[in-house]
A = this chain, B = another copy of it.
Amino acid sequence: MSGVRAQQKEKTRRLLIDAALKQLSAERSFSSLSLREVAKEAGLAPTSFYRHFSDMNELGLTLVDEAGLTLRQLMRQARQRIAKGGSVIHISVATFMELIESNGNVFRLLLRERSGTSAAFRAAVIREIRYFTMELCDYLQQANDLDGEVAYMQANAAVTIVFSAGSDALDIDDKVVREQLSKQTIQQLRFIARGAAELSDRRKAGRKN
């Protein structure tokens, strides 16, 4: 196993993945992609596809995994910025919006497959979003000293709001309108943070009595 062969295989595997990603757009969903199209874009014969994936489904799940990875990188990036000081909510929203702008099609993939027709896809997307939510939950719990259940509800609501805003942002070209959307999203996240903090306090007070 010198690797010359395996290395080449990995290379064309990436070619296929990238070919699929490249064809994704606002007008083109993964499910509308055909095996032949992807193979062609990768410069392969249709039948060679099977040397790497048994199925378009398998390719799709790989893409979802990669998208989840992107999401986790985003979280790390946001944390680094936060460590340098500034409003947590503001920085998080800004970082997320930058993802939308630079990796719109990856995000679209997640949004679409979350409500798609394949149970496996839906489960995979939900899993990735859950990771994301859980990481935020831990952070909130520690940073704001929240009740665990309350922190989860806040994290869940926050992720929902941010993803929805991201979805809206995908259809907005005007930079000014986008900024407006960010501002609104930030305010909504503050609503949630405020409500969560109060409930957490009330619960803690209840326990002491």
> Footprint of B on A, CB under 8 Å?
26-29, 31-32, 108, 111-112, 114-119, 122, 126, 153-154, 156-157, 160-161, 164, 167, 171, 184, 187-188, 190-196, 198-199
Q: Lowest 5 CB-CB distances: which A-B pairs, in order?
A: A191-B195, A194-B195, A157-B188, A160-B164, A111-B115
- Complex Cα gap A67–B187 (Å): 30
Q: Which of B115, B164, B192 contacts A195 (CB 8 A)?
A: B192
Residues in chain B near residue A171, CB distance under 8 A: 122, 126
Q: Is the CB of B190 within 8 A of A195?
A: yes
For A191, the closest partner residue in chain B by CB is: B195
Point out the residue from B122, B157, B194 that lies within 8 Å of A194, measured CB to CB.
B194
A115 touches B115 (CB 8 A): yes
Q: How far is the CB of A45 from chain B (nearest CB, A)?
A: 27
A198 to B192 CA separation, bound complex (whole angstroms):
12
Contacts of A160 in B (CB 8 A): 160-161, 164
Cβ of A198: which chain B residues have Cβ within 8 Å of it?
A: 194
- The 21 listed contacts between A and B (C-beta, < 8 Å) are A26-B119, A28-B117, A29-B116, A31-B31, A32-B117, A112-B116, A126-B171, A153-B187, A153-B188, A156-B188, A157-B188, A160-B160, A164-B164, A188-B192, A190-B195, A190-B199, A191-B191, A191-B196, A192-B192, A192-B195, A194-B195
Residues in B neighbouring A184, C-beta threshold 8 A:
153, 156
Can you name the residue of chain B whose Cβ is closest to the Cβ of A188? Answer: B157
Q: How far is the CA of A84 from the CA of B153 in the complex (A)?
A: 30
- A32 contact set on B, CB distance < 8 A: 31, 117
Q: A31-B32, A171-B122 are in contact. Are A157 and B191 (CB under 8 A)?
A: yes
